[in-house]
Amino acid sequence: MYKKLIAFNVLIILLVTVVYIGEFYFLNYPMRFNAWYLIRESQIQYLPAVFAVTALASYLISSLDFKKLNFKSKFLSVFPIVNLLAVAFFVYTAADGYIKNKKELTKLENYYIREAEKDIKNDLIVHRYGGFVLPAYDEKTARLIDSIHRKYGTTSKNTGCIVDRMDLKAQEKYNELTDVYLEKRNGKGWEERMKKEIEDVKKTRNPGIK
């Protein structure tokens, strides 16, 4: 009997561990799934404290005089139930965080869909990038490069140093719509042609800079 109870408790402990780690993923949705990253970032070092609380609660409950069972049997029966309550709590918080993030993502996606429709109408697609970039070329070279981008119906925009995971995910909707438009507008292989023209300008204007 004890062997079955112990095995059941081990399974519950594993379940709590998996749900605890999974909670971090759903609270930070959308994020790329990476098991090792999740384990490292989910602050799993605090998980023993969770088991300490559930063990204490189980100990107190098992100390009560109910049923004709010894303390060990009662503890091994109560401990998994208390841990299942912890699982339920983690699932609730994960689901609540996921739903909120999903709504926010949908809102951002709709924004980028509208932006894509507007930019397609204006024949100027915005390629967004983040980070602080020092100008590598003189003003005239930069203008020539910009004119090539505009020739192909594109322009660039620096969105700042802070990279927002949700914003990057939402931008995929923008890219889905505008990629189709740009290929229809410029023909297949247009990006390679544009890059070659830009490289030619760079070599001509700044032969020492790659």
Q: Do the domain assignments include residue 109?
A: no
Q: Are residues 74 and 144 located together in one domain of the fold?
A: no
- For residue 167, being part of any structural domain is answered with yes
Let me know if residue 190 belongs to a domain.
yes
153 shares its domain with 191: yes
Predicted local confidence at residue 157, as pLDDT? 85
- For residues 92 and 44, membership in a common domain is answered with yes
Are residues 41 and 93 located together in one domain of the fold? yes
Domain hosting residue 17, numbered range? 2-103
Give the residues of the chain that fall short of pLDDT 50. Answer: none
What local confidence, expressed as pLDDT, does residue 1 receive? 65
189 and 155 share one domain: yes
Residue pair 163/130 in contact by the 8 Å Cβ criterion: yes
pLDDT at 132: 59
Contacts of 26 (CB under 8 A, 6+ apart): 94, 95, 97, 98, 101
- Domain count along the chain: 2
Rounded Cα distance, 123 and 130, in Å? 23
Rounded Cα distance, 19 and 150, in Å: 50
